[in-house]
Chains A and B, each alone.
Chain A
Amino acid sequence: MTIRNKTAIVGVGAMPYYKRGASLPQTLNELVCKSIIAAVEDAGLSMKDVDGFAFYSGGFDTPYLMETLGIPEVSYTATLTGSGGGSAGSIGLASSAIVSGMAKVVVCVGALQQAQQRFGAITSGYEQTSETAFFQSSGLVGPGHMFALLARRHMHMYGTTREQFAEVAMSGRLNAINHPDAIMRKPMTLEDYFNAPVIADPLCLFDFCLETDGAIAMVVTSTEQAKDLRQPPVKIVACAHGGSRDWGRSLYWMNMPEEAFVSSGNVAIANRLYRDADVTPADIDVAQIYDHFTPMVLAQLEDFGFCERGEGGPFVESGAIRFEGGSLPINTDGGQLSGAYVWGMTHVREAVAQIRGSAVNQVQSCDLALVTGGPSSLPVSGLILGK
Chain B
Amino acid sequence: MTNEIAKQPPHSLFELVTDPWTEPFWAAAREHRLTVARCTECSLLRMPPTPFCPGCLSQKLDWPTLSGRGTIYSYTIVSRAIFPGMEESLPYVPALVTLSDAPTIRLISNIVDVPISAISVGAEVRVVWNHLPDGVVVPRFTLAN
Given A121-B83, A153-B73, A199-B82: A138 in contact with B9 (beta carbons within 8 A): yes
In Å, the complex CA distance between A134 and B89 comes to 19
Given A124-B83, A152-B76: A136 in contact with B94 (beta carbons within 8 A): no
A134 with B78: CB separation less than 8 A: no
In Å, the complex CA distance between A138 and B83 comes to 15
| Contact residues of B between 16 and 30, Cβ < 8 Å to A | 16-19, 21-22, 26
A55 smallest CB distance to B (angstroms) = 28
Q: Which residues of A contact B19 (CB under 8 A)?
A: 130
Q: Which residues of A contact B54 (CB under 8 A)?
A: 245
A149 with B13: CB separation less than 8 A: no
Q: Which residues of B contact A254 (CB under 8 A)?
A: 96, 106, 108
B63-104 contact mask (Cβ, 8 Å, vs A): 1 or 0:
000000000011111111011001001001011100000000
In Å, the complex CA distance between A129 and B26 comes to 14
A140-148, A221-229, A346-354: which lies at the B interface?
A140-148
A141 with B15: CB separation less than 8 A: no
B142 smallest CB distance to A (angstroms) = 14
List the A residue with the shortest CB-CB distance to B109: A138
Q: Which residues of B contact A150 (CB under 8 A)?
A: 74
| Contact residues of A between 97 and 118, Cβ < 8 Å to B | 118
Q: How many A-B Cβ pairs are below 8 Å?
A: 109
Q: Which residues of A contact B92 (CB under 8 A)?
A: 139
A363: Cβ under 8 A from any B Cβ: no
Q: Which residues of B contact A60 (CB under 8 A)?
A: none
Q: Which residues of A contact B83 (CB under 8 A)?
A: 121, 124, 141
A133 with B94: CB separation less than 8 A: no
| Contact residues of B between 99 and 141, Cβ < 8 Å to A | 105-106, 108-110, 121-122, 138
A135 smallest CB distance to B (angstroms) = 5
B16 with A149: CB separation less than 8 A: no
Interface-central residue, A130, A137, A200, A254, by most chain B CB under 10 Å? A137
A279: Cβ under 8 A from any B Cβ: no
B44: Cβ under 8 A from any A Cβ: no
A197 with B80: CB separation less than 8 A: yes
A16: Cβ under 8 A from any B Cβ: no
Q: Which residues of B contact A137 (CB under 8 A)?
A: 9, 14, 16, 108-109, 138
Given A128-B15, A149-B74: A138 in contact with B110 (beta carbons within 8 A): yes
Q: Which residues of A contact B86 (CB under 8 A)?
A: 139, 141
A82: Cβ under 8 A from any B Cβ: no
| Contact residues of A between 294 and 336, Cβ < 8 Å to B | none
A201 with B47: CB separation less than 8 A: no
Chain B: number of interface residues, binned into ranges: 35 or more
A24: Cβ under 8 A from any B Cβ: no
A244: Cβ under 8 A from any B Cβ: no
Q: Which residues of A contact B95 (CB under 8 A)?
A: 138, 149
| Contact residues of A between 237 and 272, Cβ < 8 Å to B | 245, 253-255
Q: Which residues of B contact A129 (CB under 8 A)?
A: 17
B48 with A131: CB separation less than 8 A: yes
In Å, the complex CA distance between A117 and B65 comes to 41
| Contact residues of A between 143 and 193, Cβ < 8 Å to B | 145, 148-150, 152-153, 156
A121 with B82: CB separation less than 8 A: yes
B22 with A128: CB separation less than 8 A: no
In Å, the complex CA distance between A142 and B16 comes to 18
B103 smallest CB distance to A (angstroms) = 11
A140 with B22: CB separation less than 8 A: no
List the A residue with the shortest CB-CB distance to B107: A134
B74 with A140: CB separation less than 8 A: no
A199 with B74: CB separation less than 8 A: no
A69: Cβ under 8 A from any B Cβ: no
| CB-defined A-B contacts under 8 Å, sample of 8 | A124-B83, A128-B14, A138-B108, A139-B86, A149-B96, A152-B74, A156-B121, A201-B78
Which B residues fall within an 8 A CB radius of A?
A: 9-10, 13-19, 21-22, 26, 46-48, 54, 73-80, 82-83, 86, 89, 92, 94-96, 105-106, 108-110, 121-122, 138
